[in-house]
Chain A
Amino acid sequence: MDDLEFRRRVFANPNTTDKEVAVIAARNPDKAQLKNSLQQFDDDLMKALKVQVPDNLAHKLIWEQKSEELKRHKRRTPWYIGLAASIALTIGVTGTVVMHRANVNIGEEALAHMRYSETEQSHSAVAVNMDLINAKLAGFGGTLVSSIGNVRVANYCHLNTTQSLHLILDTDQGPMSVFIMPQKRDQNVPDAFADNQYHGESWALQKASIMVVGEKGADLAPLMQKVKRSITFSA
Chain B
Amino acid sequence: MKEKQQRYETLVHAFHGDIYRYAYWLTRDPTIAEDVVQETFLRAWRSLDALKDEKSAKSWLITIVRRENARRFERKQLDLVDIDDVSVSDDAFHAAPQDESDELRVLIARLPMDYREPLLLQLLFGYSGEEIAEQLSLNKNTVMTRLFRARNQLKDMLAQESSQQRGRQNG
Q: Which residues of A contact B (CB under 8 A)?
A: 7-9, 11-14, 38, 41-42, 44-51, 53-54, 57-58, 60-62, 64-65, 68-69, 119
Contact = CB atoms under 8 A, between A and B. Distances in A.
Question: Majority SS of interface residues in chain A?
Answer: helix
B154 interface: yes
A159 to B, nearest CB: 23
Contacts, number: 90
Interface stretch (B52-60, B70-78, B81-89, B117-125): B117-125
Interface of B: 1-2, 8-9, 12-13, 16-17, 20-21, 24-25, 30, 34, 37-38, 41-42, 45-46, 100-102, 104-105, 108, 119-120, 122-124, 129, 144-145, 147-148, 151-152, 154-155
B123 A65 contact: no
Contacts of B2: 119
B108 A45 contact: yes
B66 to A, nearest CB: 17
A51 B102 CA distance: 10
Given A45-B123, A45-B154, A58-B16, 14 more contacts: A8-B144, A14-B151, A42-B123, A44-B100, A48-B105, A49-B21, A49-B25, A53-B16, A57-B17, A60-B38, A64-B38, A64-B41, A64-B42, A119-B2
B151 A11 contact: yes
Contact of B151 (A41, A46, A61, A62): A41
